[in-house]
Structure 1
Amino acid sequence: MRVFVRSLFAALALAVVAGLTLAPRMIVGPARRAFLDWADATTLPVFGGVAYAEAERLLNTAMFVPLGVALALLLPLRGWPLAVAAGFVVSVAVEYLQAGIPGRVPDPPDVLWNTVGGAVGVGAVTLVRALAVAARAQRGSVTRT
C-alpha cells in the first residue's frame, strides 16, 4: 500500500509539472497570471523588491520540490543521487518538448533551477530519513539497567 501511495504521489507531481510546463500558454496563461497576481498581493510586503526574473527562478525551483520529494520516497535512502538525476532528466525533457509547443520557449537556465528544486525535495526527504535511522539506532543502542 505504501508503494502505491508513493507512486500515486509521484505520478501526481509529474502530472502537475507536465501540465504547468507543457500545456500551451493560452491554456496555462490565465491561471499563471491569477497565481502571480495573488502572489504579488500576498507577498508584496515581504518580497516587494523581488524582480520578475528572480520570481521566475523561485517558481521554477518550487515547482520541482514536490517531484523531488516524490522521487526520493520511491527510492531507498541511498538512492538519493538517482532521484536528483531523475529530476534533471525530467527538466531536460520539459525544455526539449517546449520547443514544439505553441507559445512555449525553452529556457536552458530553467534546467538548473528545476534541478535545484528537485534536489531540495530529495534533500528534505533524505535528511528526515537519515534522522529517523539515527534515532532508531540511538534507541537500539541504549542499555537499560
Structure 2
Amino acid sequence: MKRTVIILLAVSILGLAAAYFFQPDTSIDYASFQSRFATAFRRADFHAVEVASCSGDQIPFPWTLRPQRRASTRDSHIDFAVGFPDSAEHYKLVIDDSPPLDCFVRYFDSRAAFIAIRARSSQASVARALRSALAQEFPGFTITLTTNDG
C-alpha cells in the first residue's frame, strides 16, 4: 500500500513536470502582435493615452508560463534582436471618461509572451471587458488580470 502511494506520487510529479516543461509555445511574433493588439483594444472602444517601454523585469512571468527561447534556424553565430528581445511595453488605456487601465505586454525572445492588465477594484468590470476583447483576438494567449484597492 505504501509503495503504491509513493509510485503514484512520483508519477504525478513527473506528469506535472512534463506538462510544465513541454508547454506549447503560445507566443506571437512582435510585428503581427503589435497591429493585432492595437486593433483589438480599439475595437472594444479603448484608446491608448500613453505608451512607454519598460524593463521586462518589471513584469515577471506568471508561474504557469515558462518562457521558451526559440531555436535559431540560421547557421550563423551572430544573432540579431528584432523588435523587443526581452522587455515590456506599458499601455495606459481608457474607455469613455474612465481612469486609465495599466496594460503591459511582456516580450521574450522578440515575441509577445503574455499580457498583464492591472486595475483598481473599482475598474474591475472595465478591465474584464478589455481582457475579453483581447482574448477574442488572441485565443489561447495568456492574459492576466490583477485588481487592487490602490
What TM-score do the two structures reach when normalised by structure 2?
A: 0.28
Point out the structure with the larger helix share: 1
What TM-score do the two structures reach when normalised by structure 1?
A: 0.29
Q: Which has the higher contact order (CA 8 A, sep 6+)?
A: 1
Point out the structure with the larger strand share: 2
